[in-house]
Structure 1
Amino acid sequence: MADPERMLEPKHRALLDESARRGLPSADGVRLCFQLLATAGAIDRDCAARLAPRGLSEGKFVLLFLLHGQAGGLSPHELAERAGVTRATVTGLLDGLERDGFLRREADVIDRRRVQVVLSAKGKAAGAQLFAEHTQWIGGLFGGLSASERKRLAELLAKVWRATDSGRAAMEESER
């Protein structure tokens, strides 16, 4: 098994060393947080490295995925809402995807003032291939875990998330 310390960034190791030197009781929790951040960062970097050769960012990939299977397309507003980003961000992502030939903007058949975003043939092919590859890769990250371990990990991550300020706020919001 790999040494958990090796996965940590130098700044995190320094903070842990200082926490240990001071004898802080929360050092174990801090270590786990840093391990989780290191794992998430590694996944994020790997994702970016896998998409970059195709000229895609994670944001562009998400839009390709959302548009894939939508024969009539989606409006930029719908894409922004579904992707959880601003309209300005979607506009920039769409501009890049359109420039690279993955999609086109078309006037809505019912209301020509509205725009629908549809995938081009290149976008459909890339979306299907990338989705298959990406989901297989992501699933493979957890391939070494048994079904019960994956379930337990999901439960533990949810428990930690609920302890965050963001998690508590989301829980409160959902109870309203």
Structure 2
Amino acid sequence: MSFDFTDRPDAHRLELMRKAYPDVDTQSVLTFLNFRACFRAVAADYQRVLDRFGLSESRFLILMFLYHNQPQALGITTLATKLGATKATTSKLVGGMVKSGLVEKVSTAADKRATLIQMTYAGAELLDRFLPVNYQAVNHLFRHLTHDEQVQLNHLLDKLLPDAQ
């Protein structure tokens, strides 16, 4: 019997597992498996949208952080904190974005050794082209849910977050 990603166990198969593992909560496992399958499908669809513009989720987020902080530039430490990543990872991401012409490093007036990151015209132009497609993709993703169902889904997803009480 094969148990791969396309062969998710059903309630019957999970009930059989309960004989060996009494802590199996059939509904929790089914919900988890469905959640994971949904996440993978959504992530793959969204990655295809990002790929069309040569973006990763992290690159997109950095552009959005810079966009919302205009006209001020941001430091690597601030970007790393906002991204939830290390300074080393963020520096590498920003380095690639500098090479791509999406952002540039600028010196601060107070300390010429310190550098800040700001979006370039090319970065702003890419964001202007991407955002409408981004919002269309998100709208398409949730097209089968009513507004009230989306509110309910948000409420339920919030309950899964680690900080939820």
CA apart distance, 1:36: 0.8
**Larger helix share, 1 or 2:** 1
CA RMSD of aligned residues (A): 2.3
Is residue 2:108 matched to residue 1:108?
yes
CA apart distance, 1:154: 1.6
- How far apart in 2 are the matches of 1:171 and 1:29? 18
Q: Counterpart in 2 of 1:19?
A: 14
Q: Is the 8 A contact 2:49 2:137 kept in 1?
A: no
- How far apart in 1 are the matches of 2:157 and 2:57? 22
Q: Counterpart in 2 of 1:66?
A: 65
Question: Hey, which bits of structure 1, 4+ residues long, moved more than 4 A?
Answer: 14-17
Q: 1:14 to 1:147 in 2, by over 3 A?
A: closer
* Runs of 5+ unmatched residues, structure 1: 1-7
Q: So what's the TM-score if we normalise by structure 2? A: 0.83
Q: Is the 8 A contact 2:10 2:30 kept in 1?
A: no
Q: Counterpart in 1 of 2:5?
A: 9
- How far apart in 2 are the matches of 1:22 and 1:106? 59
- Which has the higher mean CA deviation after the structures are superposed, 141-150 or 58-67? 141-150
| Pairing 1:146-161 to 2, within 5 Å after superposition | 146-159=146-159, 161=160
Q: Counterpart in 2 of 1:122?
A: 122
Q: Is the 8 A contact 1:65 1:131 kept in 2?
A: no
Q: 1:78 to 1:19 in 2, by over 3 A?
A: same
Q: Is the 8 A contact 1:68 1:128 kept in 2?
A: no
Partner SS, residue 74 of structure 1 = coil
Q: Is the 8 A contact 2:107 2:115 kept in 1?
A: yes
Q: So what's the TM-score if we normalise by structure 1? A: 0.78
Q: Counterpart in 1 of 2:134?
A: 134
CA apart distance, 1:151: 1.4
Q: With a CA cutoff of 8 Å and minimum separation of 6, indicate the structure with the bigger relative contact order.
A: 2
Partner SS, residue 106 of structure 1 = strand
